[in-house]
Amino acid sequence: MNHPTLTITKKELAVFVNKLIADTTYDVVGPKAKGKRFAYETLENASDLRLDHDVTILPPKKYFLPICETLLHYNLKKAFDAHPEAEDKPRIIIGMHPYDIIALQQSDKVYLDYQKDDFYQKRRSSTIIIGADIETVSERSFAASMETHTTNEGFDLLLTSIGASYAVTIGTDKGKKLLDKYAVTKKITPVDLKKVTDMRSRLTGRYKRSVKAPKEDWPRILAANHDHAIWEEKSDHCMECSSCTMVCPTCYCYDVRDTTDLNLTNGGRFRTWDGCMLKDFGRIGSGEVFRKDIKDRYRHRFYRKGNYIPARYGYIACVGCGRCGIACLPDIADPCDVFNDLSRFGQQPDTDRYYIRRTTKPQEKGIIHIPRSATITRIQRLTTAETLYELELDDKKPLGHKPGQFVEISVLGIGEAPFCVSSAPSPAPVFEIAVRKVGNVTSKLATLSVGDKVGVRGPLGVGFDVKAYEKKDLLFTSGGIGIFPMRSLVNYVLAPENRPKYKSITILYGAKTPAEVLFQNEINAWKKVEGVQVEQTVDRCEKNECWMGCTGLITTLFPKVETKKLDIKNTIAVVIGPPIMYRFVIKCLQTIGVTDDHIFVSLERRMKCGVAKCGHCQMNGVYVCKEGPVFNNAELQNLPEAFE
């Protein structure tokens, strides 16, 4: 517990701040007046600092996760040149309110705990935080309900106004050193100490707004009200501007894009704030949009605050600052209102139902946003739209992936896109991805030649647990380009050293037309392996096309599966295909008796960062890039967004 130990007069504080400003090694920022509102800006004079501000328009998160920052610079004239942005100037933030300090500690969980974000960490460690206890309570704030109106930690120094002086709480050595160097302070008197205690205890009562439901109940309230009418009623008024997420100190989603100068030589990969309320937040390369409905996006935001993040990190992701309430023109964004409304409608105890906890460790390799260089060593045209690329990592280290894991492939200047690895794990620094031309990155890949360079991040996500499938019958179903990741798995289990570990293997594969059948030669080879049954179908076959196999949807292959030979209770089914396919195939599998926890699927979402930060691939409480893309069907039962 930190207690105030010193006091500084207001006059001396101004001297202190001006000395900090004069020390040009720091960028000194603090709340300044902006019309009738306040905003954090660089201070040129202590007199501009408004420690009596109620709340700033944007939270100080802009200093840790800038609105727009360069992740890497590249030079397109060189083979592969991607280097990170130089460091920021160290910064001192003066006047941060307790709720913003607590919000920052929450961001630390996201950005530092699992696969740390190097850029965030650098800023975090080079920033000194001089907090300030709240003097003026914002009209819209309900911080007292969220117990974020005061804090004992998370700052280097904390100032508390007590009349003509400020009480100073020292949080860290860093803070103390700064004081020793620049400030004239006195030891706090018992009278002043009491003033601080009194001020803080009185603060709670000064809030006009409060949440009736204790914040501990939020996850249970949401668990019970997924289909409540409130989501539609409120979202009907939504302007879809995502101002609520932009001004939120605990929102952290971002978008990444490449921008090249007009000379087509230099450019940068930029990360900018993104918001889950925006229409295109869940749009993927092929044009498909997840969480298309505004109602679903509106609900998603509240579930993140009150259920998904609590399940994942253990805290409610709302600090009650009230900024969203101020920013939202139709005034539908304020959690205080929504939870007060919902508190009348029951609770459910299974609060973690939308989240899947994984214990797998991330593979930390270098800076998470900087791709490794790789060379295209072979290009094989599969069909008019699909191509197979063999890539060799230039550091000559193997990728080290499991079947089902994915990589982010960068074409500098164009962008980055996720691809499942299509080759089986290998000790060589070589792997394959198969690509269908749908978006910018895939179209650009189609123009590249052997010898060209691309960037690689990964392997990412959770692949198939091939160990757990040993001594079991395997039933693989894939449709369309679902064969791309399936190939990695099939080639792994069919490898001579692995084949004996598995019992029978049945492979079902469907394509739209004979011309779109992929890897036919390899499939023919699979058929020849002992104990392997392969069945193929095409949806349709034109008169002039040659096709000897079955015609019809993938489900027409199920009667051909020799179920009698399978030990159904010990059969592992893997399904990979377009979203529409899952529902029907899973039904077939359930009919023949495969249990849900033995049905594994690989799902596609907008995996952008690949490291559970940017938020784009989120499916209820789950990040597909971290907890997936491989899931078993039992896990997905509670995720309404899984097969939307």
Partner 1 sequence: MSKPRVAIFDFADCEGCELQIANLEEEILDLITIVDVVSFREVMKEHSDDYDIAIIEGSIMRPMDEERLRFIRSRAKILVALGACATIGGVNTLRNQWTPDEVKKEVYGSAKLNETLFDVGPAKAINEVVPVDYYIHGCPIDLDEFKAVVTSLALGKKPEIPTYPVCVECTKNENVCLYELGKFCLGPITRAGCKAICPTHNSPCDGCRGILKKPETECVKDLVARYDLTYEELAQRCTVFNSGKEACK
Q: What does the binding site for partner 1 look like in residue numbers (CB under 8 A)?
A: 34-37, 39, 57-58, 67, 236-243, 246-247, 257, 259-264, 273, 275, 278-280, 327, 329-331, 413-415, 439-440, 443-444, 447
> Residue for token digits 């040129």?
44
Q: Which of 496, 501, 491, 504 is nearest to 471 (CA)?
A: 501
- Least distance to partner 1 from the beta carbon of 65, Å? 12
Residue with Cβ nearer partner 1 (136 or 440): 440
- Least distance to partner 1 from the beta carbon of 275, Å? 7
Residue 358, classified by CB atoms within 10 Å of its CB into exposed (0-12), middle (13-18) or buried (19+), is middle
Buried b (16+ CB within 10 A) or exposed e, 105-133: ebbbbbbeebbbbbbbebbbeebbbbbbb
How far apart are the C-alpha atoms of 630 and 587, rounded to whole Å? 18
User: Is residue 577 within 8 Å of 554, Cβ to Cβ?
Assistant: yes
- Least distance to partner 1 from the beta carbon of 190, Å? 42
Phi-psi region of 42 (alpha: psi -120 to 50; beta: other; left: phi over 0): beta
3-state helix, strand, coil in the chain (%, to 5): 30, 25, 45
| SS3 label, residue 393 | strand
Residue with Cβ nearer partner 1 (330 or 346): 330
Helices (H), 238-387: 243-246, 294-303, 309-313, 323-327, 335-342
- Least distance to partner 1 from the beta carbon of 260, Å? 5
Residue with Cβ nearer partner 1 (300 or 487): 300
Residue with Cβ nearer partner 1 (441 or 612): 441
How far apart are the C-alpha atoms of 598 and 596, rounded to whole Å? 5
- Least distance to partner 1 from the beta carbon of 326, Å? 8
Q: How many CA atoms lie within 13 A of 418 on its CB side?
A: 26
Distance between start and end Cα atoms, the chain: 48
Residue with Cβ nearer partner 1 (280 or 395): 280
Residue with Cβ nearer partner 1 (273 or 419): 273
Residue with Cβ nearer partner 1 (246 or 388): 246
Rounded to whole angstroms, what are the CA distances from 491 to 354, 526, 579? 33, 8, 24
Residues in the chain, total: 644
- Least distance to partner 1 from the beta carbon of 40, Å? 8
Structure tokens at 396: 């000559």
- Least distance to partner 1 from the beta carbon of 87, Å? 23
- Least distance to partner 1 from the beta carbon of 619, Å? 22
Tell me the residue type at 629. P
Residue with Cβ nearer partner 1 (262 or 546): 262
Residues 6+ apart with CB under 8 A from 581: 479, 480, 482, 554, 575
Interaxial angle between packed helices 173-182 and 10-22, expressed in degrees from 0 to 180 and rounded to the nearest 10: 100
- Least distance to partner 1 from the beta carbon of 427, Å? 36
Residue with Cβ nearer partner 1 (58 or 103): 58
Residue with Cβ nearer partner 1 (263 or 359): 263
Buried b (16+ CB within 10 A) or exposed e, 423-433: bbbbeebbbbb
- Least distance to partner 1 from the beta carbon of 270, Å? 11
Residue with Cβ nearer partner 1 (32 or 305): 32
- Least distance to partner 1 from the beta carbon of 383, Å? 21
How far apart are the C-alpha atoms of 393 and 399, rounded to whole Å? 8
